[in-house]
Structure 1
C-alpha cells in the first residue's frame, strides 16, 4: 500500500508543478487568471468501519480552481484597448457562432470595421446605436465602427446669456440711424455661426444699440443681410433696416420685456433664415433650406449691469458635415465617435456578462472561458450596472499571477515530489530486506 500512497503523492506533486508552471508561463498574459491545485486525502474505510486505526490511502487532485481576482490595470495605448475594473467578462462571438467570455481587452478593428480580439477570430458583442446615437439594449450584436461622415444638421436654436454695460452712452438714432457698416451707429455686436441643411455656415450678427437709459435695440443680420434677403442699405425712404427687438430693463438691470414688431416675447423666431446670394447685382435663392419651424433665438438671459458687455459662448444645435477623427470609450462602455465638426455620437455600447459561479466556467484557451452547467447561465448588461465593473479605455488588465508566490510554490512542489519519491525508495528498501529474510 505504501507504494500506492507514494505514487499518489508523486502524481499530486506533479500536478502541482504543472499548475504552478502554467501560472508562471502566463505571468505576462493579458487578462489571465491564476489557478490553484486543490487536493483531497483518500481513505478506504467502509461505511460501517471504525475510524480509530484507519490509515489513509494517499492523495488525489480534487480540483484546479481559477482565482478571478482583479489584475493590475495598466495603460495599453491602443485606441480599442479596454480593461474591466471590477466584475464581469467581455462577450465575444467565435467564428462558429458560440459565445466566449474573456477579461482580455486587447481589441482591434478588422477591414469591415468590426471590433475583434487580437487574433481576429472573435467579434466583440454589445448593444447597437441608432442613427441618432441612442443605445438600444435589445439582443447582442457584433460591434462595428461606422466610419461614415456625420450628416449636417440645420440650426434650430441659439441660446446664451449676456450682459449689456449700463454705462454705455446713449446713441440718438435720429441723428445716427443704424448702419452695420458704421461702428458709431451701434454699441456692441455678437456673432453666431448658423448652419443650413447642407452644412453651409452662415454668420448671424446681432447689433445692440443703447437708445435710452434702460432701453436697447437689437438688430439681427444673417450673412450681412436681413433675414428676408434684402440688404440693410440705402438712404432716406429706401433704407431697409432689419426689424429691431426692443429690450427694456428695470432699475436693477433685470430684463423686463422684449418687443419685436409689436409682439412681446423673449424668443426671436426667424423663418426661412437661409438667405440667397447676390452675384453681379442679381439675387439668387439658396438651394439649401433652413429648419421648417425657423430658428429660435433665446433673448431672455440678458442683463444690464455696470460691467463690461459680454456674451457667454452660444449654444446651438446645428453643425456642418463632420469627418470622423477619433473614438472615445467611457466608463459605461459607450463608444463615441468624434467628428471634425466638434460633434460626437454614440455608435454602440459594450456588454458585460456575469455568472453566479465563475469557478464553473470552462477554460477554452486564448484567455477565454465558456459557459457550463456548473457556471449557470450568463447575465448580460452594460458596464457599471449592478455588480459589473467599469471600462477603462486605452488600458489592459494584467495577469493576476503573483510571481513570488508561484516561485515559492514551485520549491514546495519540488520538495513534495522528492519526499514522495523517498517514500517509494524507502518502501523498496524494506521490501528488499524482507525478501532477503525469506
Structure 2
C-alpha cells in the first residue's frame, strides 16, 4: 500500500534531517567529519524476480557515510595543538597505563595532565614512537609506541670532552723572556684564554689555555700550547690521574709537580695552521677529580681548526665546548614530522618521541565511537602505522587545529531539501487517506 511506501519515505527524510542537523550541530567541533545519508530503493521480489510493472515498495537508508575530506586549519597560540594536513589519524590510548585500548582521532586538542602526559580532553594519551636516544639522529623505534611524559623532566648535565677554539696569535709577538713556562708568571707566555667546562654532574670548572711562541724559521712558526684545569670555588689540590697534582686557586692558575708536555701548533708563512692539519689535539694528560663525586673531568680533544697567526692582536674568534650544566624545562616544540622536543634552560634539548600516525585501507569502514574518535572494525581493515610526511601520511602542523569540514551553507540547503522530501511523503499519506475515505463512503 502507498501508506507503507510513504512511511518509508518519511523515515528516510527523517534520517536525512537528523544527519544534516548533526552536521550543523558540529560545525565548530575540532576534527569532526560530516556525514551524509545514502538511500536505496526497495522492491518486493519473488522467485520469478521483479516484474516490469511492479511498483516500488519505498526507500531504505543504505548507509550514513562520513566524509573524511580535509578540514581547514585554524592556527592557535598553543604549540601543543596539533593538526594533520593530509591522511592519517592520531593514535590514542585509553590512558597512560592502558595502552592496548586504542582509538583514532583527527582532533589534536592536546594538553598536559597532572602527571605530565600529553592527553586530549577525554584523558586519552597521545601515542608516540619511542626514541632510540636523546637526539633526532639516533632515530625512533617505529614498531614501539608509548605515551609521552614531558613536564617532569630535568635537563640532564653533560660532561665536556671537546673544546673548540679558533684564535689569532699575533705574528709580531716575540719568544717570552722567561723560561721555562710557568703559568703563575705572565712573562713566560704570550697570551691566555679560559673556558668553563662541566663535569658529569653539571658542575663548572675552568680550563685555561696558554700560548707560548717558540722557534721561527723563514717558512714556519711554532707555538707551544699548555692547558690547565682548576675548580673555581675550592682551593684544595686534586690529584690528577695522568699528570701529577693540580692546584685549584682561581687567582693564580694551578701548576703541576711535573710539567705536562705541551701541544705544538705550527703555522706556515701565510699564517695558516699547518700542524696539526685537522686542528685537533688529544689531551689525555689534563684531568681533575671533582670533590662532588662526579666522574673525572677529562677534556680529550682541543680543536683549534680555523686558528691563524697574522699581524693582529691576539683574539678569540670562536669558543665552544660540548658540555652542559643541569637545566629546567622551558618549552616543548613539535616539528612537521611529529618529533617532540623538550627544551631546557641549559641550552640543551631532548627528543621525547615521534607522533605515531595510523591510516586504514577503508577509512569509511571505521566504527564511530563518539568524542570525535573512531575505532577499527572488520570493514576498515588492519591499521597501517606510519610517520608524518612518509608513506602517504600527511604533515603535522603544531599550533593549529583541523576545523570541522562542515560547510554550513551546503547543509542549510540540504536541510531545505530534506524538509521538502518529508513534506512530500506526508502529502502522499494525506492523498492515500483521502482515497481510502472516498472508497469507504461509496454505498
* TM-score (norm: length of structure 1): 0.82
> Is the contact between residue 168 and residue 317 of structure 2 (CA under 8 Å) also seen in structure 1?
no
Deviation at 1:414, TM superposition (A): 1.0
Unaligned segments of structure 2, at least 5 residues:
233-239
For 1:338, the equivalent position in structure 2 comes to 343
1:15-164 → structure 2 map (5 Å cutoff)? 15-46=15-46, 48-49=48-49, 52-94=52-94, 98-120=101-123, 122-129=124-131, 132=134, 135-145=140-150, 147-160=152-165, 162=166, 164=168
Decide whether the 8 Å contact of 1:30 with 1:397 is kept in 2. Answer: yes
Say if 2:289 and 2:297, in contact at 8 Å, map to a contact too. Answer: no
Measured against aligned partners, the alpha-carbon deviations of 1:38-80 in whole angstroms (never above 9, x if no partner) come to: 1112223446446543432221111001011111222233343
Cα distance in 1 between the residues matched to 2:437 and 2:314: 108
Q: Deviations over 1:105-162 (max 9, x none)?
A: 1122222222222132x222223346746543343323322614233222111235x3
Residues of 1 paired with 2:151 and 2:127: CA distance?
15
Q: Secondary structure at the match of 1:302?
A: coil
1:350 is matched with: 355
Change in Cα spacing, 1:146 to 1:291, as seen in structure 2 (3 Å) is farther
326-335 vs 306-315, which moves further: 306-315
Deviation (angstroms), 1:426? 2.1
Consecutive unaligned residues in structure 1, runs of 5 or more: 277-284
- SS of 1:21's partner is helix
* Paired position in structure 2 for 1:256: 274
* Deviation, structure 1 residue 198: 2.4
Is the aligned partner of 1:273 residue 2:287?
A: yes
Question: Distance between the aligned counterparts of 1:407 and 1:98, measured in 2?
Answer: 38
Are 1:220 and 2:227 an aligned pair? yes
**The residue matched to 1:323 in structure 2 has which SS?**
strand
What is the alpha-carbon distance in structure 1 between the residues aligned to residue 312 and residue 391 of structure 2? 50
Structure 1 residue 290 displacement after superposition:
2.7
Kept in 2: contact 1:354–1:379 (CA 8 A): yes
Partner of 1:279: none
Query: Which residue is 1:425 aligned to?
Result: 430
Aligned to 1:295: 300
TM-score using structure 2 length? 0.81
Residue 311 of structure 1: CA displacement?
Answer: 4.9
Q: In 1, are the aligned partners of 2:280 and 2:305 still within 8 Å (CA)?
A: yes
Superposed CA deviations along residues 8-51 of structure 1, whole A, max 9, x for unmatched, are 21111111110000001011111111111111122234464465
Match for residue 282 of structure 1?
none
Query: Residues 25, 182 of structure 1: CA spacing in aligned structure 2 closer, same or farther, 3 A cutoff?
Result: farther
Aligned residue in 1 for 2:237: none
Superposition deviation, residue 369 in structure 1:
0.8
Contact 2:88 2:357 in 1 (8 A): yes
Cα distance between partner residues in 1 of 2:64 and 2:10 = 17
SS in 2 for 1:346: strand
Contact 2:182–2:188 at 8 Å: present in 1 too?
yes
What is the CA distance between 1:330 and its match in structure 2? 2.1
Partner of 1:280: none
Deviation of the 1:328 alpha carbon: 1.7
Alpha-carbon contact 1:231-1:240 (below 8 Å) kept: no
Name 2:206's counterpart in structure 1: 203
Distance 1:312 1:331, change over 3 A: farther
Aligned 8 A contact 2:151 2:329 in 1:
no
Indicate conservation of the 8 Å contact 1:223/1:275, yes or no: no
Q: Secondary structure at the match of 2:154?
A: coil
Return the offset for 1:218: 3.2
Corresponding residue for 1:388?
393
Within 2, Cα distance between the matches of 1:348 and 1:40? 47
406-415 or 218-227, larger mean C-alpha shift: 218-227
